[in-house]
Structures are given as structure tokens and as C-alpha cells.
Amino acid sequence: MCGIVGLLDRSGGTGNTDVLQAMSAAIIHRGPDDEGYFMDGPVSLGFRRLAIIDLSLGHQPLANEEETVWIVFNGEIYNYQVLRDMLRGYGHIFKTDSDTEVIVHLYEQFGEDCVKHLRGMFAFAIWDAKKEQLFLARDLFGIKPLYYTVAENTFAFASEIKGLMPVPGVTREIDRESFWHYLTFQYVPEPRTMFADISKLPPAHYMIVKDKQMIRKRYYQLQFDPVERPIEYYIKGTAERLRESVRAHMVSDVPRGAFLSSGVDSSAIVALLRELEDVQTFTVGFEGAGGQSEIAYAKETARLLKTQHHDTIISAKTYLDALPNLVYHQDEPVADPSAIALHFVAELASPHVTVVLSGEGADEIFGGYTIYREPLSLHMFDFLPPSMRKALGDVAQMFPAGMKGRSFLMRGSKPVEERFFGNAYLYNEKEKRAFVRQAKSLSSLDVTKPFYDQVANTDDVTKMQYVDLHTWLPGDILMKADKMTMKNSLELRVPFLDKEVFEFAAQIPARYRLMQGTTKYVLREAVRDILPKEVAERKKLGFPVPTRTWLRNEHYTFVHDLIASSQLDDLFDKDYVLTMLEEHRQGVRDHARKIWAIVIFLLWHQIYVEQSRVFVSQETPFIAMRRKKMFAETLV
């Protein structure tokens, strides 16, 4: 895993070595093992390396034989050996055993269509000297990030936003529309970022930058396409493809391990790894989580699966002390408490392994979230005329807040497009208008409607999964997974988010995904034979962080002072937020998630906009030691 940066001067000028090196230094944590640079006329490419495959020859930027095609690449290609054999058949000659060089020759052979052959996670940039164009691409699911901006007639890209900050002309202006949507989704939906002038290349897209033009194009469409077959076919096929995916994701020349939670997803990954080798597993729990802690469940799973297990408990103070620095590493505000939690499990794993496998993506593609069962419970409303459904909602609105049945009637009165915005739904439009200084009329429907339109003729469960797959998954789940593991110079791999696994899972009818009162039924049945019964049937906890309790106690003073001292009166009414905090502290209402969104945003604003909290990307002591050891070994 690595970090990439680059510049393309579109005014006819040449690159700036100082700027390029500053961009690279800002993301040193992504690649402490090596660095490299290439400059030729208007283009400058920079690279930070975390060595995983071909430790001695995988240096970047890397070129073809004629040095007319240059690449910087972040990711892993799991079918690179098959592709290399195919390309040799076309006459291509290889000088390394790296997956990076495979992409170079694949581009030579197929041009922009090279991305359609790749199985893996990636973000890369290719400079084609003959065409004088920059070609950038991102993987199907958005596992690896890629940001870009245009400042003072220079196109710049980087694996992280902090890598763009040294570019002259890059502003720190807030995108107010992004702030509006952040308050609903708890992250900024792509391709926007919280910065007005910085964008993110969406998953399954490539971009061509040439002269004054930037052309962005989708090269693959993630979509569900159910096919009626016996359920046994899907259970057997899921087991086969998941087993093969785990095997493919093991390709590396460095130690591997796995994150282990209480759920079936990570447990299945660990069980499949154990079929092939001894496994080290890692879990963290949180002080005050009580019966919701992952620790006890994970320990029991590790004992049953016979892994070498590591775990630790994170206190409220430890969490709060680390929070500002971790918000810096997130690049953008993400109001998911488990985003911070991921840092601690990555920090725990980093001294032991360089690659970890994890269970992200299983819920989105196999139908694992409890909320996906909602259409089944609301099915009775489908038989009512729209006018009657609306009338029921209007009546329920008049009931006292908290009255039994009120929420059920209100949700049942709306079609799925108006009630489901993804797994996180913090502030609704009315609540935001009560305290946000927003001149422009905006709606969260602006984000989700295009996706609902694309699956208008499917069932409600599929619609919900499709929306999550294109918003929640890249914007929250994968963003925090990448940023928090790379902060610890650790490569995270996600076998569920594999092209082969997805294309099979996408055929499973919705009724097979949700059966017998449970979620992701096919997946549970597919891994039943490799997991102990108590693990296979265990309910998902979802990496619980006791933010609700901490905001009433250990974190209260810090949060109160942070909000009260805010200078963002032009953006929102802080008295409104302070009132929510007091209601939460006194137990009047549970505002934990809504307050946390403001806390994360304020810290992000202090770091990136006000610059009143200053952090510098740097290696941890362990990573520095590992880099020195690797360097010494190369001299032997």
C-alpha cells in the first residue's frame, strides 16, 4: 500500500520539485519504506511506498521500456500474475515481479480499457508522454481514495487531501453544500469534499487530463441483477467464491493478520485464513461499553478458531486524547465514532503484521444491515393509495414525540425514497434549517435521488442496498478503513469487496438475502460449516463506541467548551447545539450522534481551516524502526 501525488502544469510551464516533495512528505505515513519522483516537462509524479510485493524491485514511479509511460500506483492487483502471463503472450517484457508494472503494460495494450481487466483495489495515475495526457483511475468500490484540484492553472492529485495542501493556490474554503449534506449523512457524499475546490474521483471511474480538458468517465456499473435459482446454488457458490477471494487476497511478501469483531463477516474471513495458515487476530473494546463490548465475543471466536489473538481496552481519556490527531488523518469530517476506533485496532496490529484482512462490504452486498428488513415490516402500507398513506403520516405527526407507533406510521406513510438516506441519518431537513445558516435551498434527496432513479424498477431492499453501495460504503466505511489503517502504515484488504464475489452476490434474489428473521441469510448459510454455531448465529454489534455515555460524563466539558468557543456563527447557531448537549446530559433526549457530528466538524475546522491545531504527518516510532531495518537488509 502506498501514497501517490502529482502535478500537471496546464500553462506550458514545468514542475516544481519543492512542491512535489512537500506533497509527498505530507503523506509519509502511507509509505515509510521508500519514496520516488519523476519530473518531465509539465508533469511531476511522487510516490511513497509501503512495501508489500517485490520488496527489492517495486520502486515507483515506474515506466515502460521506452520510458514513454510512467505510473504511480496505490493498491493491490490480485490477478496480476494472470494478466502478466497474458501480456507476455502479446510480447511485453517485464523487468520486475510487481503488479505495478502489469498496469503499465496493460495500459500500453488496451489504453483506457486497461481498468476493465483489473481485479483489486487501486488508485493510480499514468503519464502518457506520447499523448501528453494524464490518466487517473479508481477501483470499482472506492477502496482506495484519489483527490484532485485545479489551482493556478495546475492540476494536482493526491491519495489524501493533506497531500494537496502544499500546492500554491489551493484554498481552504468550506463547501457549504457539503456541510449541509454532512449533517444528514455523517460524511460528505462523493464526488464532493468539505473543501469547495477539491473533489474526489468517484469509484469505478477514470479521468483523462489533457490540455485544458478534464474528462471523467464511468468504466463499470455496480448493480444488482437477481436471477431465480435454487437457494442451494447461491449458498454453495458464495462459499466457493469467498474462499477463492480470501486466497487471492493473501498475495504478499510480508506478514498478514486479520481484524476480528463479534460478527460473522470478520469471523468468516479469519476461519478461511485459518484453513491456509496460522493467523494473528486483533480486536479493541471500549471502557464503558459494558455488554456491548466486542472484546469478549472476539476472544471466544479467536479461541474457537485457534488464532494468536491480541486485544486491548480503550479508555474515554485515551480516545479523547487521540481524537484531534485522528481527525487530522481523516482529511474530512466523518462523524462515525467507529472511524476513530479503527485507528486503535490498526495501531494494535501494526507492530505484528503489515497486511490485515477485514470484513467490510459484506453487509452492503449480501444485505446485512437490520434496517434492510424495514420494507418487510412496512409491507402492509404498499397496498394503500398514496393519498391515504400521506394522511396517516400527517395524523402521526400530531402524536406526541416518543408515543408508541408514531415512528412506525410516519415511516410507513413514505415511500422508501423519502425515508431511507443510508445507514446514517442524523439531521433531517427541518432540523438543519432550525440552526444552519444556509442561504441556498438544499435537500438530502439531491444526493440519493439519482441512485434511486437508476433502480426504480427494483424492490425496496435492493434499492436500499444500492444507495448504500454508492454512498455509505465509499463515503464512510471505506474512507475510515483506508485513512485509519494507513495512518498506522498498515495495508487493509477486504475480500468481500471483490469483483468476482460481488458479481455472484448481485444475482441473489432479495428474498434469499433476508430469510427466517435474519439478514444476509445466504452468507450465513455459506459459512456455517466453517464457523462454530454460536459464531455463525451471533448478532452484529457494529464496533460499539460508548459515545452516548461519554458525552454525559468524561467528554462533556471538552465538548461544551469546543462548541461554546466556536467562531462559526455565520455557519450555524451554536446555542442550538449547546441546548442539545444539555438535553443529552440530563437524559431528556439522546442527541449523541447529532452532537458528535458537530464535534468532529469543529475539530476538523480548527485543523484544516483555522489552522489553530497543527499536526504533521509522521511515522510512529515502530514504523521508523521497521523502515530502518528494511533499509539495512537491502544493503546486505
* pLDDT over 90, % of the chain: 71
Residue 125 backbone phi and psi in degrees, to 5: -135, 135
What's the pLDDT score for residue 439?
59
Please identify which residue in the block is written with the cell numbers 477486504: 494
- pLDDT of 181 > 90? The answer is yes
Of residues 437 and 157, more confidence is placed in 157
In Å, what is the CA distance from 314 to each residue of 50, 345, 541?
Answer: 27, 10, 17
User: Cell triple for residue 560?
Assistant: 461544551
Comparing 205-214, 364-373, 407-416, 456-465, the range with the smallest average pLDDT is: 407-416
Distance CA 309, CA 572 (A): 46
Three-point CA angle 282, 490, 477, nearest 5°: 75
Q: Which cell goes with 2?
A: 502506498
Is pLDDT of 492 > 60?
A: yes
pLDDT at residue 33 tops 80? no
Reported as a pLDDT band with limits 50, 70 and 90, residue 302 is very high
- The pLDDT tens digits of the residues spanning 431-443 come to 999 999 875 678 8
Q: Is the pLDDT of residue 633 over 60?
A: no
Please pick, among 1, 2, 209, 409, the residue that the annotation labels catalytic: 2
Residue 432 lies inside a defined structural domain of this protein: no
> What rounded mean pLDDT belongs to the chain?
89
- For residue 363, being part of any structural domain is answered with no
In a domain, 435, yes or no: no
- In this structure, what are the phi and psi dihedrals at residue 351, rounded to the nearest 5 degrees? -70, -15
Mean pLDDT over 13-33 rounds to: 87
Residue owning grid cell 501525488: 5
Residue 250 inside a domain? The answer is no
Mean pLDDT of 93-106: 94
Number of domains the chain contains: 1
- Which of 179-193, 355-369, 464-478, 525-539 has the lowest average pLDDT? 525-539
Task: Note down the domain range covering 87.
Answer: 2-176+195-218
What is the pTM assigned to this prediction?
A: 0.92
CA separation for the pair 548, 314 (Å, rounded): 15
Residue 375 maps to a domain: no
Query: What's residue 632's pLDDT?
Result: 45
- Domain-located, residue 534: no
Weakest-pLDDT range from 49-53, 360-364, 386-390, 464-468: 49-53
Residue 328 has pLDDT above 50, yes or no: yes
The whole-angstrom separation of Cα 147 and Cα 496 is: 25
Read off the pLDDT band of 468 (50, 70, 90).
very high
Predicted confidence (pLDDT) at residue 57 exceeds the cutoff of 70: no
Provide the CATH number for the domain around residue 145. Answer: 3.60.20.10
**Residue 426: pLDDT band with limits 50, 70, 90:** very high
Q: What is the reported pLDDT for 620?
A: 56
Three-state DSSP at 197 gives: coil
Residue 53 has pLDDT above 90, yes or no: no
d(CA 265, CA 361): 9
Band the pLDDT of 631: cuts 50, 70, 90: very low
Confidence class for position 58, pLDDT limits 50, 70, 90: low
User: Is 526 a member of any domain?
Assistant: no
Q: How confident is the model at residue 59 (pLDDT cuts 50, 70, 90)?
A: confident
Over 60: is that where the pLDDT of 630 sits?
A: no
pLDDT at 634 over 50: no
One-letter amino acid at 315 equals S
Which set of grid coordinates corresponds to residue 312? 486491548
Residue 114 falls in the annotated catalytic set: no
Gyration radius of the chain over CA positions: 24
> H or E stretch including 576?
helix 574-585
Task: State the pLDDT at residue 624.
Answer: 55
> 559-598, pLDDT tens digit by residue?
999 999 999 999 999 999 999 999 999 999 999 999 999 9
- Please name the helix (run of DSSP H) or strand (run of DSSP E) that holds residue 491, with its range, or none: strand 491-493
Sheet holding 280-286, edge to edge: 308-314, 280-286, 256-259, 355-357, 491-493
What pLDDT, on a 0 to 100 scale, did the predictor assign at position 315? Answer: 93
Contacts of 181 (CB under 8 A, 6+ apart): 188, 189, 192, 442, 444, 446, 447
62 part of a folded domain? yes
Q: Could you tell me which residues come within 8 angstroms of residue 238 by beta carbon, excluding any fewer than 6 positions away?
A: 366, 501, 504, 505, 508, 522, 523, 526
Residues in CB range of 561: below 8 A, 6 or more apart: none
